[in-house]
């Protein structure tokens, strides 16, 4: 065998891991959870400011729930404790984000999308509110 093959398959196992259904589920959760890092980084680089898109929270939620299921199946207290409560801020951040998005409005002058807490349009500087929008979050 060539050395490439030996790196990927050793001890007669792919990456040296003993694979079974729950190992695949656990690794799927790991990949989903880890991918959020790239999503957030890409969004930040794209806007050139720190951005946490909703996809980050969805990936966090789905990945952590899969990893929690894996931990419960394996009866691994470290995994269980690590992911038992993380869904709370993920869901809360999604709720706040969608509520805020629903309250956004368009500037009457340039039609740019404005934050519900904005007094002035960030694109044209037009005054869009005398008072901040009431918080419903």
Cβ proximity to Zn ion, 77 vs 111, nearer residue: 111
Taking alpha carbons only, the member of 25, 17, 18 closest to residue 73 is 25
In the complex, the smallest distance separating the C-beta of residue 122 from Zn ion, rounded to whole angstroms, is 8
Residues that bind Zn ion (CB under 5 A): 107, 109-110, 112, 121, 123-124, 126
Q: How far is the CB of 81 from Zn ion (least distance, A)?
A: 48
Name the minimum Å distance from CB 112 to Zn ion. Answer: 5
The closest alpha carbon to 53, from 69, 65, 67, 42, belongs to: 42
Q: In this structure, what DSSP letter does residue 120 have?
A: B
Q: 13 or 126: whose CB is closer to Zn ion?
A: 126
Buried b (16+ CB within 10 A) or exposed e, 69-103: bbbeeeeeeebbeebeebeeebeebbeeeeebeeb
Q: For residue 51, how many C-alpha atoms fall within 13 Å in the half-sphere facing its CB?
A: 15
Provide the minimum distance between the beta carbon of 107 and Zn ion in the complex, in angstroms, as a whole number. 3
Nearer to Zn ion, 66 or 128 (CB): 128
Q: Which is nearer to Zn ion, 16 or 132 (CB)?
A: 132
């Amino acid at each position: 065998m060539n050395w490439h093959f030996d790196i990927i398959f050793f001890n007669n196992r792919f990456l040296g891991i003993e694979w079974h259904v729950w190992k695949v589920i656990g690794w799927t959760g790991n990949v989903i959870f880890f991918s959020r890092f790239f999503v957030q980084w890409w969004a930040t680089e794209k806007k050139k400011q720190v951005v946490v898109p909703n996809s980050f929270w969805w990936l966090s939620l789905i990945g952590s729930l899969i990893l929690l299921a894996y931990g419960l199946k394996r009866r691994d207290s470290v995994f269980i404790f690590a992911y038992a409560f993380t869904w709370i801020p993920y869901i809360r951040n999604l709720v706040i984000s969608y509520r805020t998005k629903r309250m956004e409005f368009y500037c009457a002058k340039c039609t740019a999308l404005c934050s519900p807490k904005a007094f002035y349009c960030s694109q044209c500087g037009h005054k869009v509110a005398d008072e901040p929008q009431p918080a419903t979050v």
